[in-house]
């Protein structure tokens, strides 16, 4: 049997086992269920199991879908590219944006956030230097963090990556280590208002390795919704 509920149980057990191997507290790892392309009914099967953290990669799709679910208990994260003209909508829909990869985008978030609390963002880093991927290059991360730290209205809380794909999960490890290392380096700069608590890394095929390497947010879609 492979229902979302059985899949979720299995994923949680595997996250707990990876924490055990790494000597980590499972409370420090949050599962984000990636609901992109899934219907409201499919998503309800997951939220009915108590899952409240969800992630979408497109603002337009999220804007259509989130009102249909109409559940204030749900917290949505944006994990796909964000265009500046969609920032205002994104700030209304999401609790966190994982994909800040330019000063222009950070400035737009800063300008559009009209709430008293700074909006939580992560910086997306292209650890594998792949030309087709979003994210800043590793050497651009510290200067961008410094520039973001000067802006009001948003709070840099960590880093995110989508590493080069390999079907062998173990091959993601070096990229996860590279991201964890960058988080440390940014944290050591102690820029005002920057608390580098989050490491957003790990997807269906490699989340256990990501957890071993310190992930605090794993982004899992197909392993939740599809037969295992
Ligand atoms: C789709 C997506 C995921 C989830 O991928 P799966 O392999 O289905 O778990 C994670 N992160 C991002 C940025 C995605 O776009």
Chain centre to alpha carbon of residue 115: 22
What pLDDT was estimated at residue 2? 58
Residues with CB under 6 Å of ligand 1 are 34, 36, 57, 79-80, 162, 203-204, 219-223
* Residues sharing a CB contact under 8 Å with residue 81, sequence separation 6 or more, in sequence order: 57, 99, 134
Instruction: Using the atom order of ligand 1, give the atom closest to the CA of residue 79.
Output: 13
Q: Which residues pair with 96 in a beta bridge?
A: 77
**226, 37 contact by CB (below 8 A):** no
Instruction: Using the atom order of ligand 1, give the atom closest to the CA of residue 99.
Output: 13
Cα–Cα distance list, 33 to 43, 71, 151, 197, 222 (Å):
9, 15, 30, 20, 9
What is the distance in A from the centroid of ligand 1 to the CA of 215? 15
Span 159-180, pLDDT tens digits: 999 999 999 999 999 999 999 9
In the predicted model, is pLDDT for residue 1 greater than 50? no
Is the full-model pTM beyond 0.85? yes
d(CA 58, CA 121): 16
Any idea where the domains of the chain sit in the sequence?
A: 4-225
The C-alpha angle 29, 32, 36, rounded to 5 degrees, equals 165
Chain centre to alpha carbon of residue 78: 7
Dihedral sign of CA atoms 226, 97, 142, 126 in order: positive
Q: How many residues belong to the chain?
A: 228
What is the distance in A from the centroid of ligand 1 to the CA of 181? 22
Instruction: Using the atom order of ligand 1, give the atom closest to the CA of residue 224.
Output: 9
Span 88-139, pLDDT tens digits: 999 999 999 999 999 999 999 999 999 999 999 999 999 999 999 999 999 9
- Ligand 1 atom 10 nearest Cα: 219
Which tokens belong to 143? 């200067």
What is the distance in A from the centroid of ligand 1 to the CA of 14? 18
Query: How does DSSP assign 202-218, residue by residue?
Result: --TTTHHHHHHTT-SEE
**CATH hierarchy code of domain 4-225:** 3.20.20.10
């Amino acid at each position: 049997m492979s229902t979302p509920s059985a899949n979720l149980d299995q994923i949680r057990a595997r996250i707990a086992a990876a924490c055990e191997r790494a000597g980590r507290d499972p409370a420090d790892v949050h599962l984000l269920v990636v609901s992109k392309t899934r219907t409201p009914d499919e998503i309800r099967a997951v939220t009915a199991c108590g899952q409240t953290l969800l992630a979408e990669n497109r603002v337009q799709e999220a804007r259509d879908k989130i009102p249909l679910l109409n559940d204030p208990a749900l917290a949505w994260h944006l994990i796909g590219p964000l265009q500046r003209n969609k920032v205002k909508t994104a700030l209304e829909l999401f609790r966190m944006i994982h994909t800040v990869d330019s000063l222009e985008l950070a400035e737009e978030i800063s300008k559009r956030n009209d709430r008293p609390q700074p909006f939580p963002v992560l910086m997306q880093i292209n650890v594998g230097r792949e030309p087709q991927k979003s994210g800043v290059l590793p050497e651009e991360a510290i200067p961008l963090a410094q520039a973001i730290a000067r802006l009001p209205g948003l709070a840099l809380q960590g880093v995110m990556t989508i590493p080069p794909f390999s079907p062998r999960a173990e091959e993601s490890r070096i990229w996860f280590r590279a991201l964890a290392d960058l988080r440390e380096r940014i944290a050591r700069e102690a820029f005002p208002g920057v608390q580098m608590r989050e490491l957003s890394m790990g997807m269906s095929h490699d989340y256990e390795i990501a957890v071993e390497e310190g992930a605090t947010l794993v982004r899992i879609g197909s392993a939740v919704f599809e037969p295992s």
